[in-house]
Amino acid sequence: MKKIVIYIALCCTLINKGCKDFLDLPPKNQRAVTTLDDVKSVLAGYLDMFARSNTSPIVGQAPIMNEAQNMMFEAYADNFDFAGNMGQYINPKNIHGIEKLYANKLLFNDMETSDNIWNNYYAVIGFLNALIDQSDELTQGDPSELKRVKGEMLVHRAYYIFKLQQYFAPMDKEDRGIPLYLHTGKEVVGIEMKRWKSADVYKVVIDDLKQALAFYQSEGGNPGYSRFFNGRFIQNLLAQVYWFKAESSARQAEDYTEARNYALAAIDGVDAYIPNTLTAFQNVQRNLNTEYPAVYMQSLNFGNVGAIYGSPYDYLGFAPANLKVDPGFLESFDNDDIRKAAYFNGAVLSSTWPDGMPNGPKYVRIHLFTPEEAYLILAESYCRLNQNEQALATLNKFKGFRGATAKNNLNNEQLLREIISERRKEFFCDTDKRWLDLKRYRLGTMQRKLKFFDKEFDIKVEAGGYHYALPIPLTELQENPHIVPNEGWNPIIF
């Protein structure tokens, strides 16, 4: 049997390599992986970050979306009144962010963060490719455990491929999917890392997830080891993939039916775990509800998102504080909605968001595969399938969890608008969700007229425009002659 050798720790020099280096070249030195226990041991060095917040993985990043990404996606969205907050951001009492940070993020110029997403996510895909290849060659070991381990890896790989496709592929250009290669260490000569058709990328993601789901349904999980290898989580992610794909160039007639079916499976039996009081809602944010059915991750860097979301030391007079949001967004909340009490203090962002703690602790807190996301995908899928009665019932049931007022007598168009509004309220400050909604629904134009370094900038982001496909890193374009860039991006030099 041919041995494949796995990195225990990636060399820092890999950071500037293109995706081809991660996807088609055999890893080098450090440790031979020849048995199932070897595979599990190496994979555990990556999975441990999903079990403990104080662990740095052997590949990738922890949390799976870091502070810079979280702030970039919010800065690229429309929830905050950034012009109205400039006096707080560019402020001598602000210890959380320098002017260049705000200029890059608020002017859609954060090339460093988008480069890091590309490099980090492709690095993990390459790592998983090597382990999956090796697991396919194993002839010894418990067959059930091998399926569990391979299923775990397939879900993780599918997740990273899906996120890269969401971030870097335009919605309406079928030939501009991400470049992809699914093996390592073999057949590497002559590979051209071209951009795939989006439909082909989605097929890989869906096939991997369906294979993992079949493994789970036949073998079950390993509670002491499995992280993403969970039937509910896999079906939640499948619902997300079909839902997002349904509005892309790769759409197929059955997408919303599939999204509906997988979302139904993902929410089966979860109602008792969805918070319906302010305290319960905040406890989920703090990961105090250990039965809440989602994967939780938290950053370790206290206050590192304060630059965008507000200083954790605002009670001492530090800026930014009392941050304004878009007035229309604020007005969209019902008075008894528990999210309004969690997010806001009057008309400004509450310093206690996200978790209600005194003095407003500010960490990146992430929940993956939440039942709330599956509920809203289900409501929209019913709506898109012209099953308006079921869509409205699902939406109103969800609103009931949050203390929001039920809606009645909505036509199909009104119902869709209400679902989009509900998503915006539910996922406020949640990772990449509002930016992806702006992209997927092709929502309205954003105009940023802001002053940095004594110069006026006027940035216009059109609905469905190029800003919704992140720029491919310059190093990738230089090293990979086969890749086509995402047009429109011209970095600003300050």
d(CA 172, CA 380): 20
- Flag whether pLDDT at 437 surpasses 70: yes
What pLDDT, on a 0 to 100 scale, did the predictor assign at position 17? Answer: 60
- Flag whether pLDDT at 24 surpasses 80: no
Confidence band, pLDDT 50/70/90 cuts, at residue 361 = confident
- Flag whether pLDDT at 30 surpasses 70: no
Is 343 part of a structural domain of the chain?
yes
Across all residues in the chain, what is the average pLDDT? 92
What pLDDT, on a 0 to 100 scale, did the predictor assign at position 5? Answer: 44
Q: How far is CA 44 from CA 39, 78, 164, 234, 306, in A?
A: 8, 39, 23, 19, 32
When pLDDT is averaged across residues 271-282 and rounded to a whole number, the result is 97
What pLDDT, on a 0 to 100 scale, did the predictor assign at position 355? Answer: 85
Is 71 part of a structural domain of the chain?
yes
What pLDDT, on a 0 to 100 scale, did the predictor assign at position 18? Answer: 67
346 Rama class: left (phi>0) / alpha (psi -120 to 50) / beta: left
Q: What is the pTM of this model?
A: 0.95
**Across the strands, what pairs with 461?**
446
What pLDDT, on a 0 to 100 scale, did the predictor assign at position 191? Answer: 64
- Flag whether pLDDT at 245 surpasses 60: yes
Is 99 part of a structural domain of the chain?
yes
What pLDDT, on a 0 to 100 scale, did the predictor assign at position 190? Answer: 53
d(CA 457, CA 448): 8
Is 333 part of a structural domain of the chain?
yes
Q: In this structure, what is the dihedral angle of CA atoms 68, 333, 78, 370, given to the nearest 10 degrees?
A: 40
Is 103 part of a structural domain of the chain?
yes
Is 92 part of a structural domain of the chain?
yes
Within a 13 Å sphere around the CA of 119, how many CA atoms are in the beta-carbon half?
Answer: 20
Q: Does 198 or 3 have the greater pLDDT score?
A: 198
What pLDDT, on a 0 to 100 scale, did the predictor assign at position 357? Answer: 85
- Flag whether pLDDT at 185 surpasses 60: no
What pLDDT, on a 0 to 100 scale, did the predictor assign at position 358? Answer: 80
Domain count of the fold of the chain: 1
Is 489 part of a structural domain of the chain?
no
Per residue, what are the HEC states of the chain? CCCEEECCCCCHHHHHCCHHHHHCCCCCCCEEECCHHHHHHHHHHHHHHHCCCCCCCCCCCCCCCCHHHHHHHHHCCCCECHHHHHHHHCCCCECCCCHHHHHHHHCCCCHHHHHHHHHHHHHHHHHHHHHHHHHHHCCCCCHHHHHHHHHHHHHHHHHHHHHHHHHHCCCCCHHHCCECCCCCCCCCCCCCCCECCHHHHHHHHHHHHHHHHHHHHHHCCCCCCCCCCCHHHHHHHHHHHHHHHCCCCCCCCCHHHHHHHHHHHHCCCCHHHCCCCHHHHHHHHCCCCCCCCCEEEECCCCCCCHHHHCCCCHHHCCECCCCEECHHHHHCCCCCCHHHHHHEECCEECCCCCCCCCCCCCCCEEEECCHHHHHHHHHHHHHHCCCHHHHHHHHHHHHHHHCCCCCCCCCHHHHHHHHHHHHHHHCCCCCCHHHHHHHHHCCCCEEEEEEECCEEEEEEECCCCHHHCCCCCHHHHHHCCCCCCCCCCCCCCC
Is 382 part of a structural domain of the chain?
no
What pLDDT, on a 0 to 100 scale, did the predictor assign at position 22? Answer: 64
What pLDDT, on a 0 to 100 scale, did the predictor assign at position 311? Answer: 95
Are 201 and 189 spatial neighbours (Cβ–Cβ below 8 Å)? no
Q: Does 415 or 8 have the greater pLDDT score?
A: 415
**Residues 125-149: tens digit of each pLDDT:** 999 999 999 999 898 889 999 999 9
What pLDDT, on a 0 to 100 scale, did the predictor assign at position 14? Answer: 39
- Flag whether pLDDT at 35 surpasses 70: yes
CA nearest to 372, candidates 270, 440, 291, 295:
270
Percentage of the chain modeled with pLDDT above 70: 92
Q: What range does the domain containing 320 cover?
A: 65-109+303-348
**Residues 383-436: tens digit of each pLDDT:** 999 999 999 999 999 999 999 999 999 999 999 999 999 999 999 999 999 999
When pLDDT is averaged across residues 275-284 and rounded to a whole number, the result is 96
